[in-house]
A and B are shown apart, each in its own frame.
Chain A
Amino acid sequence: MSAHAASAPKTRTAPARAPAGFPMGFYRYRNYVLFAATSLFMMLGCAMLLDAIHALGQGEAAWLAFQARMARPYYLATSSVVLLFTLYFVIRFAWVGRKIAAGRIGPIPRPPVPMFVTGVAPIGGFLTLWLILLLILGGFLP
């Protein structure tokens, strides 16, 4: 057999296993689980928004019935929990992003602002966008 045809030796590795105490034994694990849970709640939020579009397509009576249903305490509580998890996702997303902006990953030069500002700036941008979108939804902007 030529050297060219010989296969490269495979590196033997131990099977992957979870660290001790995962997923609830340590606060960083719990934060990680909480962050994963945001995806479940954001999926639920998308399903509720799909329900809103469905009601909108069914006519005015269905739209009014949808709004009346969403005003019930159980649905309002669910929507509020979905919103809280989404906000947690956004804050954590922005907080990870500041490390990328600060050059912690790769050869990007560190920006000449404190780390706190690099985290607050994207959240400020998100808040501005939410305000514009809410003004459009509320009928204050065309």
Chain B
Amino acid sequence: MKLIHRLEPLWWILFGAGGFTACFFLPALILGVLILTPLHVIAQGLVYWRAHELAAHPLGRIFLVSVLSLVLWHCAHHLRHFALDVFGHKAAPAAAFMSYGLALAGTITAFVLVSAL
């Protein structure tokens, strides 16, 4: 836990950056990729070859890894502190390691999946 507390400025930077990133990009990504494309509203824009071209472009790769990982770290920090509010400080180690562990796993997964495109 000492390390977690010592890294608090880092968690705050990731939390702030993730909040702004979520506001800037996440609603459009969810609406475009998870709702409008499966409903064939903008299906022509994300046909396989074009979707792959967008995601596999160097800027596309940086965009996807940055957005997904920063949002995950934002959510992890928020949930960690909410767990402290609800369960008290006895839950601090579990809350920290579970939430940050999830964000780290998501970041690694995003990096691996985007690298494999």
Contact = CB atoms under 8 A, between A and B. Distances in A.
Interface of A: 16-18, 22-23, 33, 36, 38-40, 42-43, 45-50, 52-54, 56-57, 59-60, 63-64, 67-68, 70-71, 75-76, 79-80, 82-83, 86-87, 89-90, 93-94, 122, 126, 129-131, 133-134, 136-140
A79 B34 contact: yes
Given A53-B110, A138-B44, 8 more contacts: A36-B85, A42-B22, A42-B71, A50-B110, A63-B52, A70-B37, A86-B26, A139-B42
B75 interface: yes
B27 interface: yes
A35 B117 CA distance: 34
Contacts, number: 163
10 contacts: A18-B86, A18-B88, A42-B74, A46-B71, A79-B30, A86-B27, A122-B23, A126-B23, A126-B24, A137-B45
Interface of chain A, main secondary structure: helix
Contacts of B110: 50, 53
Contacts of A18: 85-86, 88
Nearest to A129: B24
B10 interface: no
Contacts of A76: 35, 38-39
A139 B41 CA distance: 11
Interface of B: 19, 22-39, 42-46, 48-52, 54-55, 64, 68, 71-72, 74-76, 78-79, 82, 85-86, 88-89, 102, 106, 109-110, 113-114, 116-117
A57 B35 contact: no
